[in-house]
Structure 1
Amino acid sequence: MMKSIDYYRKNPKQARSQATVDAILEAAARILQAEGPRAATTNAIARLAGVGIGTLYQYFPDKNAILITLARQELALTGEAVNAGMSPPMDAGENVDPLRVSIHALIQGFKGRLRTRKALIEALIANGLTEELTFPVDLAMKEVLAAGTEGGDAGGSGMTPVKAYVLTRAIVGVIRSAAMEETAYFGTQEFEDELVKLAHGLMAV
């Protein structure tokens, strides 16, 4: 069960307050991407966000709280992006592989500010919030498993909880590692093809 911890010092309830928080989080993301976590001090974040340091501390007690809040936001957006990409194109035809569509959506969901994501993942791990790394994507992966089962790859033994866990971690783990390592083949057709083979193979066992 995931820890439910609110890292806000003051929750933004009005539109103006939310805009301030959004500016702080976006500034943190930009600094992490361009210069890395060491450069993302509260002073640097406040300066880039265009707010006073006192204003920043009204909402966040420290840098760590900013990183955790930003990490949760990014993970939620990743989950939404994956879910949005799960449906095949209207002109895909009847022979579309639902498992491939799902894996393609997962890969697309992990694209974007990779250095920022790496720093945020490290922040979650350092704070003992490892489970939050997979939670939004786990929900999306249920669609992947359902897609594979509908395609006849569930195997004679069926999709057990252990089998689902192994498959989920195998697919998401490879995608996350490739994204964090910034490998040249991340997002290529060959990369996607190999993941589809892996998924079909695991589901057929």
Structure 2
Amino acid sequence: MPAQFLKLQRLQSLSLGGNRLQSIPAEIENLTSLELLYLGGNLITSIPPELANLPYLSYLVLCDNRIQGVPPQLTRLHSLRSLSLHNNLLTYLPREILSLVHLQELSLRGNPLVVRFVKEMTYDPPSLLELAGRTIKSRNVPYSPCDIPCHLLHYLDLASKCPNPKCAGVYFDSCVRHIKFVDFCGKYRLPLMHYLCSPECTSPCNSNPQSDAESEDEISVPADRLQKVLLG
């Protein structure tokens, strides 16, 4: 990108699509009057966080590139109305993107997160403290403030119920992050993130012959335990 362009502080529209740009310079933040930035059809692999420092940016087109991730700092683009990210290499979006309340268009087609089922699980085995806390909570073992130290009492109050309705378990710090797709208005497949107490909790859901949109676990999951991680 020509360095001269990055000094045009009154520039409102910049279109450099269909070139062979491999990166977006951090100095893009100098274009403080920019409202439209078109960089589609290049070889860009990443989005610099400095892009979030453009207060008037309303239209951002980054389609047909090789972008693998979106920086959470983009949540600062309060004027953003349209974000085109189709035909890239995205496998996820940060949940911070849901803070873009003025966003009217979000294009994601042609990314791995849309064209194939994404199922990622990360799990750290629970500590002995957590195992003890799970046992107390799941088996309803009676206890009182006089029986245990106050810090353990506070710890037990932090228990989160597993959202799988077929599981009566709880978790504290150790949980499974599981991405599952559900139908959205009959048009999109919307990835939702579950926080489950163990890897085994995914099995009953997968063996359920019902569709994702009609499954019992989706209906019963409390809103605070089911987190939307991206838009269709």
User: TM over 0.5, yes or no?
Assistant: no
> Which protein has the larger Cα radius of gyration, Structure 1 or Structure 2?
2
User: When the two structures are superposed, what TM-score results if normalisation uses the length of structure 2?
Assistant: 0.27
Which has more helix, going by share of residues? 1
Structure having greater relative contact order (Cα 8 Å, sep ≥ 6)? 1
Structure richer in strand, relative to its length? 2
